[in-house]
C-alpha cells in the first residue's frame, strides 16, 4: 500500500486547514493594527489606560495560537500513524508484520517513538539515525505535543514546555522567541513552525518509505557496502 501518499495527503490537509482557519483571525489582527473599519478608535489610550480593541486583538491572537497548537498535534499524530501502519500487513510484503507487532510493546525505548526506533533497528536493521532528519527534532515534536495536551493551565492561555523538555533541549524548536531571553518557555506554533514540523515528518517518512518499498534491494546494498 502507498502509505506515503496518504501521509502526504494528510499533511497537505493540515497545512491547508491552518491557512484557512487562521485567515479570518489574521485579518482581524491586521485591521486592528491598521485602524481599519470596524476597528477605528474613538478614544485614545490615555483615556482608558489600554488600547480600545485590546480584547478583540487578544481573542483573535489566541485563536491563531490554538489552531497552530492543534495542527501541530495532528502532524505528530500523522507520524505515529505512519509508523504504526508500516508494521501491519498493509505496511510491507517483505516484513513479518505479526512478529513486529508482537515485538513492539516489548521494546524499552522510553517513549512510543523510542520503541519504534529500537524495533526498526533491532528487528529490521534500519537505523533511524541514517535518515535525513535529526531524531532530536522528531523527539522535540513528540515532547511538544505532550506539553500541549498535558501542560494546559485553566487560568491562562499560555502553554509552556515541561522542565524535562526544557532541560533535554535547551534550544527549542516550537517556542515563542520573544520570551526566550526572559526564560519563558511558551510554546508558539506559527505558520513557519508548523511548516517546519510538516517537513520534518514528510522528509523522515519519505526516507523510510524508500526502504520499506524496496527492502530486499536495500538489504543487499547494505551487505554489499559492509563487505567493501
pLDDT value of residue 45: 60
Q: In tens digits, what is the pLDDT along the chain, a chain of 228 residues? A: 799 999 999 999 999 999 999 999 999 999 999 999 999 888 666 566 678 888 999 999 999 999 999 999 999 999 999 999 999 998 888 899 999 999 999 999 889 999 999 999 999 999 999 999 999 999 999 999 999 998 877 777 788 888 888 888 888 888 876 655 556 688 889 999 999 999 999 999 999 999 999 999 999 998 887 776
Q: Are 68 and 145 in contact (CB under 8 A)?
A: no
pLDDT value of residue 166: 85
Neighbours of 114 (CB within 10 A): 16
pLDDT value of residue 171: 81
pLDDT value of residue 181: 56
Where do we find the cell 508482537? 102
| 3-class secondary-structure state, position 92 | coil
Closest by alpha carbon to 144, among 113, 115, 187?
A: 187
- Full-model pTM: 0.91
pLDDT value of residue 178: 62
C-alpha–C-alpha distance, residues 215 and 205, integer Å = 15
pLDDT value of residue 201: 98
Inter-residue long-range contacts of 56-64, CB under 8 Å, 24+ positions, other chains counted: 56/28, 56/32, 57/28, 57/29, 57/32, 60/25, 60/26, 60/28, 60/29, 60/32, 61/25, 61/29, 62/157, 63/22, 63/25, 64/22, 64/25, 64/26, 64/29
pLDDT value of residue 214: 92
Neighbours of 225 (CB within 10 A): 8
147 class by beta-carbon count within 10 Å (0-12 exposed, 13-18 middle, 19+ buried): buried
Amino acid at each position: 500500500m502507498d502509505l506515503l501518499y496518504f501521509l502526504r495527503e494528510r499533511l497537505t490537509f493540515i497545512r491547508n486547514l491552518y491557512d484557512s482557519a487562521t485567515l479570518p483571525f489574521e485579518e482581524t489582527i491586521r485591521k486592528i493594527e491598521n485602524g481599519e473599519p470596524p476597528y477605528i478608535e474613538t478614544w485614545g489610550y490615555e483615556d482608558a489606560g489600554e488600547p480600545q480593541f485590546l480584547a478583540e486583538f487578544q481573542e483573535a491572537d489566541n485563536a491563531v495560537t490554538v489552531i497552530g497548537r492543534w495542527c501541530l498535534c495532528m502532524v505528530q499524530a500523522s507520524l505515529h500513524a505512519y509508523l504504526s501502519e508500516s508494521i501491519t500487513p498493509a505496511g510491507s510484503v517483505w516484513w513479518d508484520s505479526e512478529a513486529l507487532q508482537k515485538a513492539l510493546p516489548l521494546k524499552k525505548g522510553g517513549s512510543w517513538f523510542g520503541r519504534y526506533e529500537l524495533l526498526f533497528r533491532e528487528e529490521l536493521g534500519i537505523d533511524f539515525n541514517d535518515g535525513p532528519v535529526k531524531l532530536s527534532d522528531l523527539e522535540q515534536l513528540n515532547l511538544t505535543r505532550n506539553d500541549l495536551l498535558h501542560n494546559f493551565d485553566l487560568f491562562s492561555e499560555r502553554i509552556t514546555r515541561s522542565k524535562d523538555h526544557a532541560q533535554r533541549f535547551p534550544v527549542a524548536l516550537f517556542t515563542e522567541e520573544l520570551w526566550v531571553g526572559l526564560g519563558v518557555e511558551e510554546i508558539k506554533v506559527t505558520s513557519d513552525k508548523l511548516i517546519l514540523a510538516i517537513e520534518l515528518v514528510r522528509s523522515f517518512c519519505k526516507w523510510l518509505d524508500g526502504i520499506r518499498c524496496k527492502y530486499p534491494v536495500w538489504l543487499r546494498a547494505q551487505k554489499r557496502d559492509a563487505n567493501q
